[in-house]
Amino acid sequence: MAKLAYGVENSDQLALMMTCAPGDSSAVVYGDVQPDTPRLVRASAGPTPVDPLSDGEAYETRVSLNDANLIRLATDGAMTVIGDAGRFQLAATPAERGAIAGFLAYCGSSRA
């Protein structure tokens, strides 16, 4: 399984985490913000525990690995997300974009 996470630097505050396995067509999304895309699909019927240390809860959702907003994070370094504070952009440096592209390639591959 691969994980891609965004949070507050030098803290344990998680804003967004995506997980997937090789061969998946979508990633499971956890966290306080979600990709702002019409193709987001709720994956849980109710809140699920995200962090047992903080008792945080969130809804799991799924986003296609081919979603334009997610691909834009890897190619252009920006993804629009939405949360309690409204819409904003997650940014990625050139090095981070390479890691994001690797995440997407790994998830969409058939390697185990």
Averaged pLDDT for residues 4-21: 84
What is the chain's length? 112
Mean pLDDT, to the nearest integer, of 41-67?
64
CA distance 49 to 60: 10
pLDDT for 8 beyond 80: no
Closest residue by Cα to residue 91 from 77, 102, 105, 81: 77
Element (H, E) at 101: helix 94-108
* Every domain of the chain and the residues it spans: 2-108
Q: State how far the Cα of 16 lies from the Cα of 36, in Å rounded to an integer.
A: 12
pTM of the model: 0.78
Residues 6 or more apart whose Cβ sits within 8 Å of residue 9: none
Q: What is the model's pLDDT at position 46?
A: 52
- pLDDT value at position 53? 44
